[in-house]
Structure 1
Amino acid sequence: MKRLVFLPLLLIFGLHNLLVAREQQGRLTLNDTLEVNYSLIHREEFNDLDHWKAEQQPGGTVVLNGGRLEIEDKAGCTVWFDKQLHQPVMIEFTATVIDEGGPQDRVSDLNCFWLATDPWHTNFFGDAHPHRAGKFSQYDSLKLYYVGLGGHNNTKTRFRRYSGDGQKPLLPAHDLSDEAYLIVPNVPNRIRIIVFTTTIQYWRNEQLIFNVYDASPYDSGYFAFRTVNNHLFIDDFNVYELSKMDVP
């Protein structure tokens, strides 16, 4: 009897280890001609906020809640991951926009910045920090990539490349309004962001929403969750380094 119980437990334990290993490293196809290796370099359990810096307008909160990051915002919030990232890189996280009748439960603005740098301040979190307090326009002077998922009251999903001089052009191909690209409330969104040399990709639940070629890509910078006047839960935040697969 003990033997019959023991063997399945071994199998379950082995399968669990295999799944964990696959999460930590593996292969990923970016397009028809490019396949890459990925390897985990950071996993965030949200047991504390040691690696996170919140810039938020009055009236909102950024707290830990059961192993998740909970953002309730009134007038603008940016939550930075404090480790500088270098491409090629992949960032993944799960985010849920809450709509349960709360005061900030507005279905809109599941947004993020990545590979952000400040050309006007040497220390991104030092001398630059007092100039940023969660108001969206305060980030116009940065160099970064941005996606606003379900912005404008969940009517638009947009990709922009901020150039560091206030310019953040919006190309027609990067301005989406089809329902397939908008937010479904109370449903987890698994977001995957990839920067591999000149290829920038943004995925949601295995749906490739943006596949952008950038002839002058950003090489390094910081990641942030960005939102305004809504209620989010975020968990399962992972960062991977990428490398091109060797051709046999």
Structure 2
Amino acid sequence: MMLRLTTLLFAGLLAACNHSGRWISESEGGPASLAERGDTLEIVAPEGLTLWYPEPLSGDYRIRYDATVVIGSGAHDRLADLNCFWAASDPQHPDDFFARSAWRAGTFARYNSLDLFYVGYGGNDNTTTRFRKYHGRRFGAPADEVKPLLGQYTDTAHLLRPNRPLRIEITVAGGRTTYAADGEVLFSRELAPGEGDGYFGLRLLANHTLIANFGIERL
């Protein structure tokens, strides 16, 4: 079954932990601007923003979307931080992932409280693309213990280019998770039973992004 962004109403502004269509927003500072145009979601994030798909995913699945970081004359047009979370859960609230949504409020350091996988594509002002595993039970420990680095690219071929769509594909299947961009698998990791279950989130920071053709496929 394919779930697509076909019935969303994204016009207007979202405050932290607000609901709109199929997404739940956690926004740092000022609210983000989101607008739907056909199959494309346009996002302007003045500060940190996480958009969670509101249903948890389990078993084998694939997430696909086309993402473009827009560089033009906008106040928040910045070539960096096309990021995402997946298989996210809250070890303190295993039955209510959004119990601490208002507390997280888009603040990046507070996501250290979650168990999840993370790819920061074009992070650190578009100098790195990194893959991490977060261990929320270690929240408060040094960052290298909470979210160890599993892989990294620093070459320009694996960094963002202005106004260029990237086809992102995240797969959890057969005891492994992979992250691919434009058909190239950049990161791969074996999974313990159930480790791929959880929530998916788009994670942006002070940029202007287009998300198109979003879909989730149960495998």
Normalising by structure 1, we get a TM-score of 0.76
Amino acid corresponding to residue 137 of structure 1 in structure 2: A
Following TM superposition, by how much is the alpha carbon of 1:137 offset from its aligned partner in structure 2, in angstroms? 0.6
Q: Which residue of 1 aligns with 2:165?
A: 188
Match of 1:139 among 111, 133, 146: 111
Q: Which residue of 1 aligns with 2:178?
A: 201
In 2, distance between residues paired with 1:53 and 1:182? 28
- For each residue in 1:154-209, what CA deviation from the matched residue of structure 2 results, as whole angstroms up to 9, or x when unmatched? 100000111122311013xx021011111111011110000114211111111111
Q: Which residue of 2 aligns with 1:42?
A: 3
Q: Which residue of 2 aligns with 1:164?
A: 136
Structure 1 residue 123 corresponds to structure 2 residue 96 = yes
| Paired residue total | 200
- For each residue in 1:117-172, what CA deviation from the matched residue of structure 2 results, as whole angstroms up to 9, or x when unmatched? 111123112x222221001011101011110001011100000111122311013x
In 1, distance between residues paired with 2:59 and 2:88? 12
Q: Which segments of 5 or more consecutive residues in structure 2 lack a partner in the other structure?
A: 10-19, 140-145
- For each residue in 1:204-223, what CA deviation from the matched residue of structure 2 results, as whole angstroms up to 9, or x when unmatched? 11111112223466141111
Task: Give the 3-state SS of the residue equivalent to 1:82 in structure 2.
Answer: coil
In 1, distance between residues paired with 2:66 and 2:120? 15
In 2, distance between residues paired with 1:239 and 1:195? 11
Following TM superposition, by how much is the alpha carbon of 1:65 offset from its aligned partner in structure 2, in angstroms? 3.2
Q: What does residue range 226-245 of structure 1 map to in structure 2 within 5 Å?
A: 226-242=203-219
Stretch moving more, 233-242 or 51-60? 51-60
In 2, distance between residues paired with 1:169 and 1:70? 31
Q: Share of identical aligned residues, percent?
A: 39
Q: Which segments of 5 or more consecutive residues in structure 1 lack a partner in the other structure?
A: 1-39, 243-248
Match of 2:28 among 57, 70, 79: 57
Q: 1:145 to 1:98 in 2, by over 3 A?
A: same
Following TM superposition, by how much is the alpha carbon of 1:79 offset from its aligned partner in structure 2, in angstroms? 0.4
Match of 2:51 among 60, 79, 82: 79
Q: 1:189 to 1:156 in 2, by over 3 A?
A: same
Q: 1:223 to 1:123 in 2, by over 3 A?
A: same
Q: Is the 8 A contact 1:140 1:162 kept in 2?
A: yes
Task: Give the 3-state SS of the residue equivalent to 2:160 in structure 1.
Answer: coil
Q: 1:155 to 1:217 in 2, by over 3 A?
A: farther
Question: Greater Rg, structure 1 or structure 2?
Answer: 1
Q: Alpha carbon RMSD of aligned pairs, Å?
A: 1.5
Match of 2:82 among 102, 105, 110: 110
Amino acid corresponding to residue 44 of structure 1 in structure 2: L
- For each residue in 1:8-43, what CA deviation from the matched residue of structure 2 results, as whole angstroms up to 9, or x when unmatched? xxxxxxxxxxxxxxxxxxxxxxxxxxxxxxxx3311
Q: Is the 8 A contact 1:45 1:237 kept in 2?
A: no
Amino acid corresponding to residue 182 of structure 2 in structure 1: N
Q: Is the 8 A contact 1:54 1:62 kept in 2?
A: no
Q: Is the 8 A contact 1:62 1:69 kept in 2?
A: no
In 2, distance between residues paired with 1:65 and 1:240? 22
